[in-house]
Chains A and B, each alone.
Chain A
Amino acid sequence: MLKQIEGSQAVAEAVALSRPEVISAYPITPQTHIVEDLGAMVKSGELTPCEFLLVESEFGALSACIGSSAAGARSYTATSSQGMLFMMEAVYNASGMGLPIVMTVGNRAIGAPINIWNDWSDSMSARDAGWIQLFVETNQEAVDVHIQAFKLAEELSMPVMVCMDGFILTHCYSQVDIPSQTQVDQFLPPFQPRQVLDPAAPLSMGAMVGPEAFTEVRYLAHHKQREALKLITEQAAEFKQLFGRDSGGLLKEYDCGGKETVVVTMGSVIGTMKDVLTEMRAEGHSIGALTVRSFRPFPIEALQEALQDAKRVIVFEKSLAVGMGGILANDLRMATRNMDLAVHSVIGGLGGRPITRSNLRRMFEKGLNDQLNRIHFHDMRMDVVNRELEREKAQRRSGSAAENILSDVGVVAAAKTI
């Protein structure tokens, strides 16, 4: 059914259609409307049978899901930003125990300085945690990928994170086709756990593993993620057959075959990019794009194939490995290391900085003229950075860098110019 609906509400409906049995969530730091809507559905009896646990922290939220999933219930939670960091110990634990929990991450920045807006720092901080990480472009895809996520998680006995841009998707109203319960039931069978806590067949879960077996256990998780590459593709195809929509999968190409320059990114920013690239192609530039849908597992072979005609890749990402550079860019460099490709790493949109058609166009043109640095900070004011560096050189007690920079560029600076 077509609905004009907020991204969070759409995800709540998709999760409800997936028949979760236990939902556990902490409401703040920061949360989206997803769990509020699910809470209302459980309370009203619209979503039943389902237990909704309001916990004292994000750590408690995922820990409760660990318990409920281990006891055989389909379990769901949602988080973002600081909250995700607070649950990080449980994030690793859930994947280590092979518990097929599904978690939405409404991607947001991590402080300090405190910032509630969109970037991918939260999901990226858990990229090595053993969860499958699927990034979505639109709210429609968010709905579709959540339904696929439960099936994928339970098939592999491995938790899945659905990563959607905070605010840009989670708080955005758009038209979404919400599938029917019959359709979802046809796609997603009831949860059949591989291991379950049951007095009828007692087992011990989560005990200590020493050096004699740890490597093999970790390798197995890696092996299963590489296997997941095939399953993600298969499930996306099955989904398309049943629902008539192309959602999910490993990556999505936007007219990148045969193009000299290919922009590689993830999430919702491709929406703006497509407009710019269409414009540029009409002007005769050989430039296309692709988005990585499955960041973990990383689709190495699929990327190699998609980029076989490319000479230059511009990787655009809303994440920064401080002291290193781009995260997606470095993964892509590794994936294409035997190919004759110039890879430019562009970092932008941090802490919610707007990514516009005009600033994208300027950056792409630089790329086409080989004027991008190996690591390029998109739409960043180097003069502001230099001013702070000068201040730090001039005096020992130079104060908080964040406050100084805000004074230089923010409302205080604006007021001074009046």
Chain B
Amino acid sequence: MPQLPETKQKVKFYQTGTFTVGNRLLESDHRTVQATIDRSNSLDSGHRACQGCGEALGARFAIDAAMRASNNQLIAANATGCLEVFTTPYPETAWSIPWIHSLFGNAAAVASGIAAALKVKGRHEVRVIAQGGDGGTTDIGFGCLSGTFDRNDDVLYICYNNQAYMNTGVQRSSATPAAARTATTQPVGDEPGNAFNTGKSVPLVAIAHQIPYVATASVHDLHDLELKVTKAMQIRGARYIEIFVPCPLGWGSLPGDTIKIARYAVECGMYPLLEGSHGEITAVTKIRRRVTVSDYLKLQRRFAHVFRPENAHQLAQLQAIADRNIKRFDLISREDDEK
């Protein structure tokens, strides 16, 4: 059994006046892959993502971390979606790794096929990643994803969750949160936005598949994201990481607020950071400075309607969801409770 890296950063140096975890005071091997001169730039500059795109940021950190962990022996299969479109209209490509896009719903199966080919050819050093957005993962690609988990194929699947189909004009997916405005859940009627009590948590579904590693991460904590990817890459079998990636276009937020929104989503309890293995939740990231759901929602136009007096019940319901997460996943350390 190889020694797995810690997914918790033991010491964090926050830069004065910000919530950014700095690198400079850390020992060199604790610094982020992005902070090093030998980073692989797997997803290179010049692509067509929007300003403030959480997905581009998440993908860059995740794939570069996976590249380092695999000694640059990596192949990626990509589902149709924003990430695919903004990185690769022929003859341009922003990928410096071997990369294949087949269809919207089959990234996991394509990756399983690649893994099978590598196995039969004895190329155990080459690792396989499948990646897609939440639509390609939680909806149309769900069957193939479950198949890859079921067979415990040696694939790391990364879902960049921006909570709707952004590439095609912001339509609801099964990862869209309650009350959110999308093109198919308009803020009209008595219950504006996306319906409550719908949707699914694919990280928990992944844990239920008993696969060796599942994690959620967020682009506001890139150290954590890199550590989780690095950990996943040291395990063989099916692994799943979901990265929370705000989308300024779809969420109606300022490009400069992407990191703040991602942090608030975690710190209000709406998006818990978890790790799981073989059917159990094995770790949670405690909330550092709790914020309210309102703090998180008011930065996003997609939730503007919940602040209207007649929709106060929606805001209360959303806060209740966050409160339930905090309780269910034990997101606040007792130390903080006592304060």
Chain A contact residues, CB within 8 Å of chain B:
21-22, 24, 49-51, 53-57, 59-61, 63-73, 75, 89-90, 93, 97, 197-199, 201-210, 213
Contact = CB atoms under 8 A, between A and B. Distances in A.
Contact of A204 (B72, B88, B121, B150): B88
Contact of A197 (B106, B114, B120, B146): B114
Given A60-B147, A90-B103, A202-B95, A49 B120 contact: yes
Given A51-B120, A72-B121, A208-B85, A67 B144 contact: no
Given A53-B113, A67-B100, A202-B97, A73 B120 contact: yes
Contacts of A21: 117, 120-121
A190 to B, nearest CB: 11
B276 to A, nearest CB: 21
Interface in B122-145: 122, 126, 143-144
A204 B106 CA distance: 17
A57 B101 CA distance: 19
A22 B120 contact: yes
Contacts of B119: 51
A51 B102 CA distance: 21
Interface stretch (B73-81, B243-251, B289-297): B73-81
B116 A205 contact: no
B110 A64 contact: yes
B90 A70 contact: no
A197 B73 CA distance: 11
Majority secondary structure, A binding face: mixed
Nearest to B101: A206
Interface of B: 72-75, 77, 84-85, 88-90, 93, 95-103, 105-106, 109-122, 126, 143-144, 146-147, 150-151, 153
14 contacts: A49-B122, A51-B120, A60-B147, A63-B102, A63-B106, A63-B110, A63-B144, A65-B113, A197-B75, A202-B95, A205-B100, A206-B102, A207-B84, A207-B93
7 cross-chain pairs, A with B, having the tightest CB-CB distances, nearest first: A67-B113, A56-B147, A63-B109, A63-B106, A71-B117, A64-B113, A73-B117
B151 A206 contact: no
A4 B110 CA distance: 38
Majority secondary structure, B binding face: mixed
B113 A22 contact: yes
A61 B144 CA distance: 9
| Most chain B C-beta atoms within 10 Å of own C-beta, residue among A72, A202, A208 | A202
B121 A60 contact: no
Contacts of B103: 63, 89-90, 93
A207 B116 CA distance: 23
A68 B116 contact: yes
A24 B114 CA distance: 12
A107 to B, nearest CB: 25
Nearest to A92: B103
| Most chain B C-beta atoms within 10 Å of own C-beta, residue among A61, A97, A206 | A206
Given A57-B147, A206-B101, 19 more contacts: A53-B151, A55-B147, A59-B106, A64-B109, A64-B116, A67-B100, A67-B112, A67-B114, A67-B117, A68-B116, A70-B110, A71-B113, A73-B117, A93-B102, A198-B98, A199-B98, A199-B126, A206-B100, A207-B84
A75 B105 CA distance: 20
Given A51-B117, A73-B116, A59 B109 contact: yes
A305 to B, nearest CB: 40
Given A206-B100, A207-B101, A55 B109 contact: yes
Contacts of A51: 116-117, 119-120
Given A64-B112, A90-B102, A207 B89 contact: yes
Contacts of B147: 55-57, 60
Contacts of A66: 102, 106, 109-110, 113
A197 B75 CA distance: 7
A208 B84 CA distance: 9
B102 A68 contact: no
A209 B90 contact: yes
Contact of B97 (A67, A199, A209): A199
Nearest to A217: B90
A220 B74 CA distance: 31
B118 A207 contact: no
Contacts of B90: 204, 207-209, 213
Contact of A73 (B105, B121, B151): B121
Contacts of B150: 56
B114 A63 contact: no
B73 A199 contact: yes
Given A59-B109, A64-B112, A206-B100, A71 B143 contact: no
A69 B93 CA distance: 21
Nearest to A21: B120
A187 to B, nearest CB: 22
Contact of A68 (B84, B85, B95, B113): B113
Contacts of A63: 102-103, 106, 109-110, 113, 144
A287 to B, nearest CB: 48
Nearest to A203: B98
| Most chain A C-beta atoms within 10 Å of own C-beta, residue among B77, B84, B96, B102 | B102
A68 B114 contact: yes
Contacts of B143: 56-57, 59-60
Contacts of A203: 98-99
B99 A205 contact: yes
Given A21-B120, A24-B116, A67-B111, A57 B75 contact: no
Nearest to B94: A204
A71 B113 CA distance: 8
Given A93-B102, A206-B100, A54 B151 contact: yes
Given A93-B102, A199-B72, A67 B85 contact: no
B116 A197 contact: no
A205 B97 CA distance: 11
Nearest to A213: B90
